[in-house]
Amino acid sequence: MPDKRNIFIGTSVHRWNDNRIFYKEAISLAKRFNVQLHAPADFDQKSLHGVKIFGLPIWKKESDRRKIRKELWVRLKKNTDTDIFIFHDPELIWIGIKVAIFSDIKVIYDIHEDTIQSIRRKKWLTPLNKLIAIIGYSLLQGVSKWIFKHYILAEDSYKNFIKSKTTVIHNYPIKKQWPKEMEKIFDLVYLGDVTEDRGGLLMIDLLSTLTYIYPEVKLALVGKIEANANLLINKRVNKLKLENHVRFFGYMNYPDAMEIVCKSKIGLCLLKQVQNYIHSYPTKLFDYMQVGVPYICSNFPLYEELLNECEAGILVDPLDVKGTANEIFDLLNNSEKYDRMSQNGINILKNKYNWASQEKKLITVINSIKCS
């Protein structure tokens, strides 16, 4: 039965059609509540799947984000009938605190990553600026624990720094029937933002090694490439003469991105040993599995637990490029092994790791919050 409560979802970083924010959370909530989504977009306003979407400017530099945050604060003050404010970015925590203190709006913070570790990884920040940012965020987070109504965590490991008023809502894929018989154009695919830590250069080196044993190999990179990584990757591609072996798709909305995955044989997830990665599941693994694409990923203990449960991929040392290339070549030439892993992935996503179970938890969180 529909609920008349008004939910204001805000993000200054993610585009309006972000997979978690729009396709999963906003659409799920719109089945029960009145939902507005305010996010960077190339339009002013539209309604889709029951969600009223209000565009914010698409940012290109940090100064743009400051303007977006200011605009978001103005909109929150104007929306006097808002009952619940859900935000998704660490940089909005100060706005969340102001909303909680100066209004009757209940605030929920959806935490997508370990923010402290993320600050430590930012190479463009000086050690002093990192220290200031970490202290500042830690203080604000400490204040928020007293006044925010709830925290939604994308990973179980985030309970290490938020221990109360929390619900883990995993970023599992929406159960959907994807075409099974699509022509496989690409041998390898990577889905998600591309950085050095996420294996950007490793994938190019791997591609180069594969060309010696599999000359026709093709890789699809689907996702935004971080500026510095983009320069290094393009330089490496040109140096190794791999222009005909890799295709850069850039950022794509989720349905279009998944179409490329469906047209690929093996999914890559060669993350480096970064604190944020070794304790959290990459969403891309579940995306690969739901369409029957076996994966090759870093051999972290957490990923080994998943593999032992479903046997839908292969774990490798991401720094062992030759060994990884051999594993890929073997899988591409072993149809029995490939088909078994493909079906295993489809089965476990259908029966366990899908959004339906997480949607129920999300609705429960909202229903638990009493609004005036």
Residues 197 and 229 in one domain: yes
How many domains, the chain? Answer: 2
The parent domain of residue 31 ranges over: 6-172+355-368
Residues 339 and 362 in one domain: no
Identify the CATH number of the domain in which residue 233 sits. 3.40.50.2000
Residue 245 inside a domain? The answer is yes
Of 47, 97, 39, 35, nearest to 68 by C-alpha is 39
Residues 25 and 166 in one domain: yes
10-residue block means of pLDDT along the chain (372 residues)?
83 93 96 96 95 91 84 93 95 94 94 76 76 81 88 81 85 81 89 88 94 94 88 91 93 90 95 79 91 93 87 94 95 95 93 92 92 72
Of 153, 13, 214, 52, nearest to 206 by C-alpha is 214
What confidence score (pLDDT) does residue 147 get?
92
What confidence score (pLDDT) does residue 314 get?
95
> DSSP string of 112-175?
-S-HHHHHHH-TTS-HHHHHHHHHHHHHHHHHHHHH-SEEEESSGGGGGT--SSEEE---PPPP
Residue 178 inside a domain? The answer is no
Residue 181 inside a domain? The answer is no
What confidence score (pLDDT) does residue 112 get?
87
What confidence score (pLDDT) does residue 180 get?
67
What confidence score (pLDDT) does residue 1 get?
52
Tell me the pTM.
Answer: 0.85
What confidence score (pLDDT) does residue 327 get?
95
Residues 13 and 47 in one domain: yes
What confidence score (pLDDT) does residue 2 get?
61
What confidence score (pLDDT) does residue 196 get?
85
- DSSP letter at 63 equals H
